Every structure is written in structure tokens, then in C-alpha cells.
Chain A
């Protein structure tokens, strides 16, 4: 065992792939994966099917624990990083343990983003990111027949498909915050409305003013002074990188951790991959957060290789084409809906 210790924060597809890659490329080093969630790594993109009951919980999971034990990859599950010191190259855990590293890969993924103006009634909206969220949806859906989707990102469209398949009534509220990570202008909105309505979804435009809980199964929503009733409100304003613990640490964070095309942050031995990494995309003329399972895995591998001294760039898909969830997706990807 050499003194090197490679640390990966996050046990999602990106983190997992990064760990495996590091183990291959640095057989002598210690490799540790830290994850907030206390479950084996699963396939988040299957969650909508899971909610619909088309996929069982077992099928969500990918590799068994033994896989990591055999490769001597240390898993710290259910544990949380609260601070990173890039000068000392060490992380501080919530339980106050201090762990030094030689190289760090941040692959914490994202948490659902809720715009400040919605904070007042956030507790009346459901999000969908983790297995726990999914269980919540499944449970709620037993009782209600209609749902309102606000915001609207990739997941929301997948979920909408599911909901329709389950025979639920779905309304979809669009506004400038919608269709993250893409900006939603008028033209985009028109396209989206058409697509949705073809799919049998009621598409609205406007901003939520208030949500009031009427009963266990009924919410009263006010949009631009018009009030109507629905069973669930699902918030899909995209993801915020789950990097609260990096505040003030010196890394640039906007919607994600800004990295160059080699996924390196401003700090030499620190890389970011997956939903929490933000790379400039010439097509969008904006920074974009790579979404989707396949991408995440891929970025994980790249980050790991580059941390080990290679120089593999992420190829940003040409103008108007992002690949996510295996679906061919472009800057108007909801057209696939």
C-alpha cells in the first residue's frame, strides 16, 4: 500500500465509475467513497418506472458490496462531508473525523432546486431525486388521481409519461424557470405546449402564487390569481449541485462546480463529475450541467483518468445535441416526449 489516498465524494454512477477506474489505474493506493445516502448505488433514471411499479427495488441496485470489498474500495455509506480544506488536502466529516487525501473527486450529484420565491410552500411540493423521494411518490399516488408538474426538467417528462401510463390526470406548468438546464423562451414554450398536449397533458403558463393544503389528498393551487385543485404538486426546477459543504472553500460554484473540459476545478488535485459538475457548452452559449445516467458514468471515468495524469477532454456534444438517459436529446429535447 502506497501513501496515496484517493477520495470520492458521492456514490452515484459518476462516483462509482470513478472509484473503479482509480482502483484499476492506481492498484497500490487507498480508494475511499463517501456517500450521504446509506444505500447501495442504484440507477436513479429508473425511479419513474419504479414508481409505476414496472421496476422492483432490487432491480434498481447495481453492484453488490462484495464487488467493492474484493477491489478493496472502502465504502463509507451514510456519512457526510461538511468541509474541504484544499490547502491541507483534507475533508472534514459531519461526525468530526478529518480525512486527508492525495486526490479528490467530487461527484455528489444534485439536489432538487426550489426557487426562493417558492420557499413559502415548499413543504407542499414533492421532488424526485432519491429512492426515498420515489417511495413517497409511489405512496401518494395510491391516493390521488391528478398531479401538477411545475418547472419541468428531464425527469419531469419521464415522470409525466409514467403518470399518464398510470392513468393519472396531469397538468404541466411552464414559465421561464422551466426546462432546466435550458432557457425557456417563447418559441421553446410553444413547442413544449404542443408536445405536451399531444401527449394528453394540460399545459399551463404562469407563476404559482400559493399552494394550500385542503386535505390529505387535495391541494389548492393559485396561478396568476386563478385557483384550481390537484392531488400532488411536483417541483422540477432541475438540480442544484449538492455542494453546500463547499461554500467559501474557494471553488467557483454557480449551478454546479465550474470545471474545465478536463473536469478539473481551479484546484489541481480536485475534479468534479456527474450532475454537480458544470461545463461550458458552446451550443447553449451557457454553462450546462451534464444530466443523465450514461453521462455521469462517463464523466466519472474521465475525471478519474485525468486525476491519474491523463488528459482526456469531455467532448461536449455539438450544438443542440445532448445525450441523456440514452434518449437522443437536444436543446429542444422535450420534442422527444
Chain B
């Protein structure tokens, strides 16, 4: 698998001159390395190669940067706006002493905003296999699967219940957050691969599962979660009480639901916030989000909370709804105070109501956004108590029925867009394996020799570039389709891209040539280079810990801890015997042209 690189004797310098050295590894130890050392890519369900696309954006190759995203997550423009950003929580720049995480998500959007006019991503297409797959549901997950399957050479036909594709992206997310042209463009770039799309065709009603199972080699159900979970309290049927999701679908499909003066939103997710902010745009004067827990426990981003409050929405904590009261229509909600109990094993905290603490919150509109679950449709096979097909296998795509697969929110329950995309792609992988008996895509760790980065230490002190938003509230709330976040200026994006440490660069000291002079440690920006007595390894054989020492006789190696390293390059610059190498290490998918092996 791996070519040996032979260093010219003595003169270490010329090591950096040797022709591009590339090798691939599939050793679990190396995969483990990636999980520890490139935290952002590891955190991304779709394993987006984040350092690479930030670097290319830094080089002002916006289209390429977009492509690097597109390869992994299919919807760069969309996710650049609505992603839940698990990567940023893991960004090394966010470590306490190092400041705030890189604004990875908004850089993604910049790549989309500034790519070449009419830029089209050239797919690598495979010869047709003469096999066909039906996909039910044109949401993020279904579309992602459609993309992968058709590139591999399947004939893909999609059935969508609504009259436009996009699923939650279109019907769950308000326009002020995600402009429709952006969404449409990225959906088209998938459909153009020769995918046939039938809209307005609902499974069960307009299409029958047994027909599909008969007519197609495989069927993938990615119908999402469209059944709202009710509060299950008295009065929920009163006029003026909406289910969050239906409310959003109405809003997004243009039929403005009627909201009154004072709206209460019950729920804690993105949907709750979308409902609240939409309600405001529909004319409510006073909107409150009511939480069972506290702001601390919210799963939405900090910016989201701040924007909501800026718009005048108030967030009320520690209250559990008991009943909705009112004559003729909703007039108020009775809540009871809650108290947090000790933390459970799974890290979640129990919340218990406090006896006798009932109180009333007057209102005229109640939006219940406490979540939704998958919608059942009739199909053979094992199902759970809600009638949902139970996913099988590690990758959770197969069902008990041969040829019938599930993906996306339908399979997992409500999740994020990026998870849905990852899901869809994994399902495609499984289907391809089952139908071709081989895999077309193989994950591998790609290592490429490189020279030292041109990053300057001072870039580490650049402030995180904030996303500009439409300032005057009047203008913002004026119409429902004004995008609140206006996107980075080119300069801001470029500035932000400088902040990335480029964790995909691997710095290593060659123990055979090190003279233990500690020059590197002297110039290190933090305790990233260590005097090591021994290392701990995991079952995969990868290093998981260093035993440091200051006893000279016990210093067996001087090692760079890539989990602490911020890739400033100082060490490699000063090493007297040039024993520090820099390697670009990336988690990639290799395409194998021949079907199986």
C-alpha cells in the first residue's frame, strides 16, 4: 500500500525537494489518528474535508473549495447556512487558551457565494449498470442517496409527496434562513445526473410499495418525520393551537397561518425557534419560547438564541405545560415549575415538576414544537410500535425485506441536515454493495509530503469574523423572505480562512535523526512538543497518550503531539538536523472503477 520514501543521506534539506510522495493507508491505527488529529472532519457526519476546503478558499480558489464540500456533503450552499456545525464545537482553535473556533460553516457558504459564475461540479460518472432504484422522499437524505447511486451507474427514480423536492429543507426551514434559489440550484445539480423525479406522489396513496418492490431492483424509503408529537395536554385541540411542523409547512408554502398578539411557543429545537421567528414575521407583537429546562440545555446555536432575542423574542425557562385553556380559542397555558434532578448516566438531566407551583401564562396563540416522528406507510417487514420499518445492520439501512432500504429521519428519527445527508450516502453505499457485490468507494488515509505551511503566527490572533445580519429590525421583519444573514464579504471570508490551523498537516520528528537538542521545544507556541519516556497505545496500535519526563536519562524521544500542535511550523524551521517532516494527511474516499473485487 505504502511507498517507502528514501531520504538522501546527510543533507536532510533535499528531503523537501523529493518529488511528490503520496501513499494511502487503511490501517485502523491511522484512521484513529485522523479522529484525534483532525477533529473537525471527524466531527462531521459526512466527513467533510474541512482543512482542505478552507485552505483552497484561502488560496481564493472558491470553486474548488466548493467542490471539496460538494464531494462530501452534497449541499454546500444550503449547509453553509443551516448546518448544525458539530465541527465547530471540536475546532482546535476553540480550545480555551486558543480563542474561538473557526467559523467553518460560514466559510463553506462563502465558497458557495463566490464560486465561478455558472460553475458546475464535474462528477466522475460510471458506466450504467442497467439496474434501477426507487427512492421515496426527495429530502436531503433521499437526494444524497440519489446522487451517489446515479454516479455509480444506477437508474434512479424518485417519488415526492409534496409538489416540490427538498423535503424539510424546503418545508421545514423558513426562507429568511435559506433562500429558495440556493436550494433549487443544488437540488438541480443532483437531478441533472439523470434522476427522474415524480412530485405530488405520496407513498401508500399514489404509489404502492409492492409495485415498487416489483418494478425496481431496490427501494429506498427516506420519507422523513412529518408526524408532529402532541403535548398530550387538555385543550390542545382549541383553535389558535398549532403543531409546529404544520405551522412551518403552511408558512413555507405561502399560506400564512393566522397568529394573534401574544404567541407562546412550546419546544426547544430549531423548529421552535423557526416557529417563533416566523410568528413574529406574521405580526405577533409578543412571542415567548417556553422551555422545560434552561437556555443552557438548548441544542440550537448561540447565534440563533442571540438573534431571536434581538428580534424581541423572550425565552422562559423551567416551566412544563399542564393544559391549554380558553373559551372558543386558546387564551392561555397553565404551566408548572420544574426542578433539575441529578444527571443521568447518559449525561442527560432529569427534570421534575414541583408540586403546587402551577401558574398561568396568558396568550392567544400556542405553537407546539415539541418534535415530530416518522410517518408510517404500509409496507411489508418488521416494524416498531409506531409502524416504522426497523433498520437493521451496523449502517442501519437494510430492513427485514430484501430490496427495501431506509434512510434519513425516517430511519433515525428527527436529526440534522448533515446527518440526513450522511445517512443517505451510507444507504446508497449499502444498496450498491448488495446489487453489485462490491464497493465503489473505499475510505483511506491519504498522506502526501508537503513543505512547511506559509501560516504566520499572527494569524492565530485574528478575531473570529462574525456573520453580518440585516440590522434594522423593521427591515428584517418587514417581509418573510429577507435572508437575515447576509453572508461574508470576500475579505472577511479570506480573513476567517487564515484562522484555520490546517490540522490536516502532520508534523513529525524523525527519531533516527533527532539529536534531542530541544530547539523545537524552545520555539513551540504551547506545550505541543514533549520529552517522552514512553507512549500508551490503544488496541488498534495507535498512540493515545504520552508519558512525559524531565529526567534526561529517561527522555527516549522528543515527540510532537499533533493533538496539541497548532501547525505553526516554527519547529521545522529551526531544527538543526532537519528531522521534522510535514505531511498532508487526509481522510478520503478512493473510487475503484472496477465493480467489486
Contact = CB atoms under 8 A, between A and B. Distances in A.
Determine if chain A interacts with chain B: yes
Contacts of B359: 285-286
A117 B309 contact: yes
Interface stretch (B65-73, B273-281, B336-344, B422-430): B336-344
Contact of A82 (B96, B293, B295): B96
Interface string A242-270: 00000110101110001000000010000
Interface string A280-317: 10100111000000000000000000000000000000
B317 interface: yes
A248 B89 CA distance: 12
A115 B314 CA distance: 10
B343 A250 contact: yes
B469 to A, nearest CB: 13
A142 B463 CA distance: 39
A83 interface: yes
Contacts of A143: none
Contacts of B318: 254, 287
A247 B96 CA distance: 12
Interface string A120-163: 00000000000000000000000000000000000000000000
Contacts of A43: none
A120 to B, nearest CB: 9
B312 A117 contact: yes
Interface string B308-324: 01101000011000000
B96 A280 contact: no
A23 to B, nearest CB: 30
B398 to A, nearest CB: 38
A280 B317 CA distance: 13
Interface string B347-382: 001000010111100000000000000000000000
B97 interface: yes
B537 to A, nearest CB: 24
B294 A254 contact: yes
A143 to B, nearest CB: 33
B340 A258 contact: yes
Given A254-B317, A254-B318, A287-B318, A266 B337 contact: no
A116 B306 contact: yes
B349 A252 contact: yes
Q: How large is the interface on B (under 10, 10 to 19, 20 to 34, 35 or more residues)?
A: 20 to 34
A117 B354 contact: no
A117 B310 contact: yes
A254 B298 CA distance: 12
Contacts, number: 52
Contacts of A285: 337, 356-359
Nearest to B362: A185
A36 interface: no
A222 interface: no
Contacts of A258: 339-340
A82 B342 CA distance: 24
A102 interface: no
Contact of A266 (B296, B309, B312, B343): B343
A277 B552 CA distance: 50
Interface string B255-287: 000000000000000000000000000000000
A92 interface: yes
Given A83-B96, A266-B349, A116 B339 contact: no
A96 interface: yes
Nearest to B308: A116
Contacts of B342: 266
A280 B354 contact: yes
Given A252-B296, A285-B337, A116 B310 contact: yes
Nearest to A253: B296
Nearest to A185: B362
Nearest to B296: A253
B363 to A, nearest CB: 14
A82 B306 CA distance: 22
A117 B308 CA distance: 10
A252 B294 contact: yes
A266 B340 contact: yes
B306 A96 contact: no
A285 B349 CA distance: 22
The 7 closest A-B pairs by CB, nearest first: A116-B309, A252-B340, A285-B357, A254-B294, A254-B317, A285-B359, A266-B342
9 contacts: A92-B96, A116-B310, A254-B296, A258-B340, A280-B354, A285-B356, A285-B358, A287-B318, A287-B337
Interface of B: 96-97, 293-297, 306, 309-310, 312, 317-318, 337, 339-343, 349, 354, 356-359
Given A280-B354, A282-B357, 11 more contacts: A116-B306, A116-B310, A117-B310, A117-B312, A253-B294, A254-B294, A254-B318, A266-B340, A266-B343, A280-B339, A282-B356
